[in-house]
Structure 1
């Protein structure tokens, strides 16, 4: 049975694998350099020490039990944005289309509401139709398109901004 729970140090190798797969093989993350375990360890520590959640979707006992992860943090580091967070959700290729991303996103929304946040923002590659559809089913609305603001794999990328009023 799939369970959403806070990430722990032991999850970091799988989180790293999921992250680096997105870095190397997709435009879900507009970064071209793979991370290492120390980078993900610092990321987890920074998120949790700032009071932000890092959640994993855990399928139960076994080596490959983490099927995805999600988190949110500050949208912008100015006081006027203190009630707005920006989130990200990533799942393994095998788990895509099985509701794992939806479960993680639902849990992040509840965490944000519990923290008194008012708006959750997402920045999505315009060609990531699955992510756009997921966010639409979860009540997010498109609030902006930024043509050509990114580049990866030698092509220009458009960003779609979505938001959910919590």
Structure 2
């Protein structure tokens, strides 16, 4: 928990850049904030008892994926909203710029302070009914398929300057 709210990463694709592109407008800021929090804070510093921050902190490869995701989320925000008049009124742009300014320091931390213990699939911090059973290696990976199933059931998703991800309206996400 951070500030009374659970932190999470929406793994919508195995590639962090595509995962960011697949994020709906309303999740760009939250995912960027959560990514920066989980990279830059030890789980004990956050008072977290959940597994996602622990996963991020457990290996340099995990933190690198999340860092690339955060960078891609920042680029997505800029692509979608920087040229829209009045967006500054929403105060979200200032928050995204503040988060973006954290990325260089987070890079140094990830590259110099974290031990690389290899990759293991992330936890799926979503309701149990969306978690797919592991049935061997899948393409995309099992955690991505689970997060996509979860995402399909979220209301009122929209993508400014982007089309809806092709997997969103299919009955099968693999």
Same fold (TM over 0.5): no
Greater per-residue strand proportion:
1
Greater per-residue helix proportion:
2
Greater relative contact order structure (CA < 8 Å, 6+ sep): 2
Q: Which has the larger radius of gyration?
A: 2
